[in-house]
Amino acid sequence: MRIILAPMEGLVDAPIRETLTKVGGIDRCVTEFIRVTHGMLPPRIFYKYAPELHNSALTEVGTPVAVQLLGSNADMMGRHGAKAAELGAGQVDINFGCPAKTVNKHKGGCVLMREPELMYEITAAVRKAVPADIPVTAKMRLGYDDRSMGVACGQALEAAGASEIVIHARSKVDGYKPPAYWEEIAKVREAVKNHVIANGEIWTVEDYWRCRKVSGCDDVMIGRGLIARPDLAAQIKASQSGETREPMSWAEVVVLVREYAAALQIRLEDKYVTGRIKQWLNYLRQGFAEAEALWPQARKIREVAPMLACLDQPLDLPQRHTNAA
């Protein structure tokens, strides 16, 4: 019953992986995708997206981090899979789920679900190039134009040797609009022998249990829900044991944001650090009334120090807001 932190381009980077895995409950992370085109990328690009490779592909608290690749050239994807393994990756993941227009326009991500045969070729090339003891996995959606391609694409990945398939329970056209079609994940799970992991619209402990029941998947991948509620994985783990866990307070969340900002400042200019904090705060609005109350003021701030000071200001809220399901 594992919980995996989903990759989110432009937000779930190494610093936030470190921050969230320290909270607890997360069993694995996946990097933002490394874009593979026609040239061989140097090691520094792998280390940029996965600095954990310097630490046996683990976060500071020992949570494994998979390296994710995105591209449509099977030969080059295989070469980059081999390079990731050479640099220390313990798992190589392939992105067939990204719905971004710019990515799809250049034949990457979810658009490949129109061509299960090409998905097979890419996955088979990576599987052949990566040492047998290192898992090759994949993430996909239910389809591109609609939700009709899940089974065919899942079977293509199975035949190519992917050991796990994460399925985001929407098509590309669905985007991120509710609901998530967990029942469609169940159809793919029943059609393949691979281990299938459910993803999509898990915001609370209650959502987790409903997703498990409908999809039939024991394991889940969570992205936005963990950004909105940093202790969601820990809450879920407690519920799996029949226990309760006191929800994280806003003051505790602010400590996390401060740690994240400090890590970002080592490598980014302040204006970019402030932008990342705003991205996180925007998601926190869904889990904490304090974030919602601060947002109108915080969104206008451009420097790190004033932003952090803004998060610390006292608030007169009607009642204490918790992130319990």
DSSP H or E run through 228: helix 224-228
- The owner of tokens 């921050």 is 19
Phi, psi of 138 (to 5 degrees): -150, 150
Q: How many residues does the chain have?
A: 325
Task: Please identify which of the residues 29, 98, 110, 211 carries the catalytic annotation.
Answer: 98
Q: Which two tokens stand for residue 82?
A: 């081999």
61 vs 21: CA distance, rounded Å = 7
- Binding site membership: which residues? 68, 139, 168, 199-201, 223-224
Q: Do the beta carbons of residue 34 and residue 68 sit within 8 Å?
A: yes
Binding-site residue ranges for FMN: 68, 139, 168, 199-201, 223-224
What number of CA atoms fall less than 13 Å from residue 291's CA on the CB side? Answer: 25
**What CA–CA distance (Å, rounded) separates 17 from 20?**
5
Question: CA 60 to CA 43: how far, in whole Å?
Answer: 21
List the beta strands (DSSP E) in 20-142: 28-30, 34-35, 65-70, 92-96, 136-140
98 is catalytic: yes
**Active centre residues (catalytic):** 98
